[in-house]
Amino acid sequence: MDLTGKVAIVTGAGKGIGRATVEALLARGAAVAGWGRTAPEGLVHDRFQFFECDVRDEVAVAEAFTNTVRELGPEIHVLVNNAGLGIMGEVDGFKSKDWKAMFDTNVHGVFLCTRAVLPQMKRQHQGHIVNVASLAGTAGSAGMSGYCATKFAVRGFSDALFKEVRPAGIRVTCVMPGSVETHFNGNQPGATPDPHKMTPESVAAAMVHAIEAPDTTMISEIQLRPANVK
């Protein structure tokens, strides 16, 4: 898909992979709606609009979609479901509210945002949905059962969704990064990049690559790992 003049929605746009994806899409000529609880600090662009949205809230998602269409037009060409939450801990000490918060954000939020855009994408017979999962959605890790469960769910949802909407001309890509230098799980990226982690920009570039693939090609899954191992 040529992104020039297209409209994209990116959830969790405030920082990290979300912000990098917004900037990458803008650089390719798209108009971008950023959805999230916090706006990307200092990001000003004539093709960027931020709409406050908690993806866990069905009403908030519907309002963000209505506002996006009002400001950027009726056609929605790209949705990047990036908003996510990671809380780690062993199962027998895990708080049920934290478990629920992760599923509400990582799984239910993906469903709500996807459901919001699909009718218009079907009318257009064109669209691309990118779901950001994780390598934690391919193999379990001790102390990460809840997070792994949500990302396995996103991967399964993505696999079923692409088979469901492919006849309607809609492509679906599940992106599964490994370690990325972000604020994830309370981390603070250092002034010097960690050579053993990927950058948010590299993950965003992979998404753009999938979105810009020829119309005859759908990249259904992408696994990303740091090139340098410890």
Each residue's pLDDT, cut to its tens digit, for the chain (230 residues) gives 999 999 999 999 999 999 999 999 999 999 999 999 999 999 999 999 999 999 999 999 999 999 999 999 999 999 999 999 999 999 999 999 999 999 999 999 999 999 999 999 999 999 999 999 999 999 999 999 999 999 999 999 999 999 999 999 999 999 999 988 765 544 544 555 667 789 999 999 999 999 999 999 999 999 999 987 77
> Is position 147 annotated as part of the catalytic site?
yes
Would you say how long the chain is, in residues? 230
Q: Which of 147, 152, 157, 162 is catalytic?
A: 147
Cα–Cα distance measured from residue 86 to residue 17, given in angstroms and rounded to the nearest whole number: 14
Residue 114 in tokens: 């996807």
Residues whose CB falls within 8 Å of the CB of residue 92, separated by 6 or more in sequence, listed in order: none
Secondary structure of 48-90 in HEC code, one letter for each residue: EEEEECCCCCHHHHHHHHHHHHHHHCCCCCEEEECCCCCCCCC
Cα–Cα distance measured from residue 113 to residue 134, given in angstroms and rounded to the nearest whole number: 19
Average pLDDT, the chain: 94
- Write the class of the CATH domain 7-224: alpha beta
- Strand pairing report for 7-11 and 78-81: parallel
pLDDT in the model for residue 185: 46
pLDDT in the model for residue 172: 98
- The full set of domain ranges for the chain reads 7-224
Predicted structure pTM score: 0.93
